[in-house]
Amino acid sequence: MSAKRVVQWLPAAHAGDATGGSALHLAAALRERGYEASVHALTIDDSLRDTVSTMETTPRVGPDDLTLLHFAIPSPLSTRLADQAGVRGIVYHNLTPPSQLLPFCPEVAELTARGGQELRDLAATGAVHHAIGVSEYNCDGLRSAGFAAPRRLPLALDLSHYDLDADPIVVAGDRADRRTFLTVGRIAPNKSLETFLRAAAYYLAHIDPHAEFVVVGGDKGLEAYGEALAKLAGELGLDARLRFAGRVPDADLVAWYGAADVYVCTSLHEGFCAPLLEAMHFGVPVLARHAAAIPETLGDAGLTFTDDEPAHVAEMLHLMSTDEALRDQLLAAGRRRVAQFRPEIVLGAWLDAIDEMIGAP
């Protein structure tokens, strides 16, 4: 008898994207467990064509096989899932509320609004046998859309691919007396990066004029917001003390995490927020907004804020970068927290859940 099959679908497979990375990580673990496993996408970055297959190559599934749709944007895959044979599941990575994307990105806001309707329509079909949220916050979203009894399973992250040498050019220069504050992620309105910029302006004006603030991430498809941030940076007089590094290779990212005194998350909306765990992995204390799934992922491994006044955020950054006892406490908590997301733990939970859904291979 042939092995049972698990097919994962992605609307898009992008290099460096946590959703696609977790799907590939899960597929490898499934194959080790004895399943036949593959990952397919509508669009695929060239660098991923050896590991992600096209939708046209999706294998035929039987009644005991599982198809998992990773849902983060609307796509034709929702309709296709409803028609798919076998056991059907959805993994919900959340949709940014349209209100947070306006007025900079009305087209993207329309896309996420359509995604919300598509999610509700998919629930109404009754075609999905298993609904999974990568956080309890996402499970709440699934319940609101009409899915009964969703299951929480965290992102299956493989942070070991960051265990490489940092780019020496990025870390070149004398940083011994320069405090560096880092944020990582797509440059999008829901990230509220204006909070980061305004805190930077206060910090440089009132605390330390030699500090450095770094934004790592691209704004593809959201260029209007990136342009608005560049204009704000000019108005605030941030000049060379604010760096937009863009989307960078892993060696550069390792260097920026290594240089950072504090990792900062100002986002208003996250369905999981993988960079929080990346920061913990690199031993960087975290300051994050208390919003959406951020507190759930962070646990007790960082400090959070609800008051985003520049002075408040800047003073918290100064405290976290200078109080050694506090830093030691946060770093210890970060080590404990990131250990809870070790691959053997998270993938073990995923594999056990899939065994339960369709029976062990």
CATH code for the domain in which residue 282 is found: 3.40.50.2000
CB 316 within 8 Å of CB 263 = no
Q: Are residues 48 and 153 in the same domain?
A: yes
* pLDDT at residue 239, rounded to an integer: 87
Q: Are residues 28 and 13 in the same domain?
A: yes
Q: Are residues 346 and 310 in the same domain?
A: no
* pLDDT at residue 313, rounded to an integer: 98
Q: What tokens appear for 353 in the block?
A: 């859940």
pLDDT at 175 over 70: no
Q: Are residues 96 and 139 in the same domain?
A: yes
Q: How does the average pLDDT of the chain come out, rounded?
A: 95
* pLDDT at residue 168, rounded to an integer: 86
Give CA 268 to chain center in angstroms: 13
Residue type, 258: G
Strands (E), the chain: 5-13, 36-44, 53-54, 66-71, 87-92, 130-133, 151-152, 180-184, 212-216, 242-246, 262-265, 286-289, 302-305
* pLDDT at residue 174, rounded to an integer: 56
Nearest to 140 by CA among 68, 190, 92, 71: 92
Contacts 24+ apart (CB under 8 A), 283-288: 283/331, 283/334, 283/335, 284/182, 284/257, 284/260, 284/334, 285/261, 285/320, 285/326, 285/327, 285/330, 285/331, 285/334, 286/262, 286/330, 286/334, 287/262, 287/263, 287/313, 287/316, 287/317, 287/320, 288/264
pLDDT at 329 over 70: yes
* pLDDT at residue 173, rounded to an integer: 62
* pLDDT at residue 167, rounded to an integer: 87
Radius of gyration of the chain, Cα coordinates, nearest whole angstrom: 21
Q: What is the mean pLDDT of residues 208-226?
A: 95
Range of the domain at 64: 5-157+342-358
Q: What is the mean pLDDT of residues 75-79?
A: 96
Of the listed ranges 49-53, 155-159, 291-295, 297-301, the least confidently predicted one is: 155-159
Sheet holding 286-289, edge to edge: 242-246, 212-216, 180-184, 262-265, 286-289, 302-305
Would you give the DSSP letter of residue 188? Answer: -
For residue 95, name the pLDDT band (cuts at 50, 70, 90).
very high
What total of structural domains would you count in the chain? 2
Q: Are residues 214 and 295 in the same domain?
A: yes
Q: Are residues 200 and 150 in the same domain?
A: no
Separation of alpha carbons 259 and 264, rounded Å: 13
Matching residue, tokens 């109080």: 323
Q: What is the mean pLDDT of residues 308-337?
A: 98
Q: Are residues 346 and 312 in the same domain?
A: no
pLDDT at 338 over 80: yes
* pLDDT at residue 103, rounded to an integer: 87
Model confidence, pTM: 0.94
Q: Are residues 59 and 128 in the same domain?
A: yes
Q: Are residues 61 and 93 in the same domain?
A: yes
Separation of alpha carbons 97 and 116, rounded Å: 9
* pLDDT at residue 201, rounded to an integer: 98
Q: What is the mean pLDDT of residues 292-296?
A: 98
Q: Are residues 177 and 125 in the same domain?
A: no
Q: Are residues 136 and 192 in the same domain?
A: no
Q: What percent of the chain has pLDDT over 70?
A: 98
Q: Are residues 219 and 335 in the same domain?
A: yes
Q: What tokens appear for 225 in the block?
A: 């917001």
pLDDT at 246 over 90: yes
Strand 66-71 relative to strand 87-92, pairing: parallel
Q: What percent of the chain has pLDDT over 90?
A: 91
Strand, coil or helix: what is 71? strand
